[in-house]
Chain A
């Protein structure tokens, strides 16, 4: 690593927005998990070993709806397939990373760490990525714990508002992509429509509506949409 490659300091700076964003959302997770009657240990374990915001919230919702564990795991798998693309695109931009670090870097790939890392110029160093990820992870885990322990002490209005953070985050990830390509809007709208239809008419067993919506809309997109995914665009 001769030249510029970004190190721990750059990782620290880059991590700040993620830390600020993660903490309240993680608190909402801890708080919600408690209301779904999950033990403190299991709640922390979710954040410690899964470390995937969207999947963890989805799991809570599905647990609440009484969905079987196998179906929740399948839904999680589909939801997390996107990380395959993210990891692949970061992997080719990393240089001289010792193989021993790869399992750790891979563990820390989330929508947010990916977005921030992929916006950096030039090659990425293990030091940069790991600093970014460790801080994000720390915020996620400590937020979960804080939400579980003291979340209930917050005013009710604040408690109810923390949960919106996730949908606000989904929206804030999606909207800039829509701005970039109308295809993104069509994909999201198709999928949302399929979900509404199958949910309204109870076409599918609970838990499957989400999976079927994602697959149907993605496959439909292959046929309907003009391919605008050339190279690094998406």
Chain B
């Protein structure tokens, strides 16, 4: 088996630094508004691309089930909200579709 230590250390650094930085430079001057907006947009563009990617790269035969799971989660979180409920409902929906 390959050792993934260098990858893990690298990922740890690029994950930890953005989490840590704001706590150290609390009273730093505010970000430029455009930079701020760019950063604010990233979660949404990241999620959009990740979800689409999840569907496109679904294992063979799992595309319909993946779409069903995402659909159920979307409906559930739109009307009821709540991460746990939506995730649980999606997993159950996928189970029903593939079994």
The closest CB in chain B to the CB of A227 belongs to B37
Instruction: Report the bound CA distance from A164 to B74 in whole Å.
Output: 13
Chain B residues lying within 8 Å of A164, measured Cβ to Cβ, are: 65-66, 69-70, 90-91, 94
Which chain A residues lie closer than 8 Å to B22 at the CB level? 84, 87-88, 91, 106
* Contact A176-B11, Cβ < 8 Å, known A87-B18, A214-B45: no
Within B1-53, which residues are at the interface with A (CB < 8 Å)? 1-12, 14-16, 18-24, 26, 33-34, 36-53
Partner of A192, one of B4, B38, B49, B92: B49
> Could you tell me the distance in whole angstroms from the C-beta of B51 to the nearest C-beta in chain A?
5
Contact (Cβ within 8 A) A80 B18: yes
Give the number of residue pairs across the A-B interface with Cβ within 8 Å. Answer: 275
Q: Is A168 an interface residue (CB 8 A)?
A: yes
B48 touches A192 (CB 8 A): yes
- Interface CB pairs A-B, < 8 A, 27: A17-B83, A46-B11, A59-B7, A61-B53, A69-B6, A72-B10, A76-B10, A77-B18, A78-B46, A83-B15, A84-B39, A87-B19, A88-B22, A91-B22, A102-B23, A106-B23, A157-B99, A167-B70, A171-B86, A172-B82, A179-B78, A195-B49, A213-B48, A213-B49, A214-B45, A217-B49, A227-B33
Given A42-B5, A160-B94, 10 new contacts (CB under 8 A) = A38-B1, A38-B2, A69-B6, A81-B18, A105-B23, A164-B65, A168-B87, A189-B48, A191-B46, A214-B42
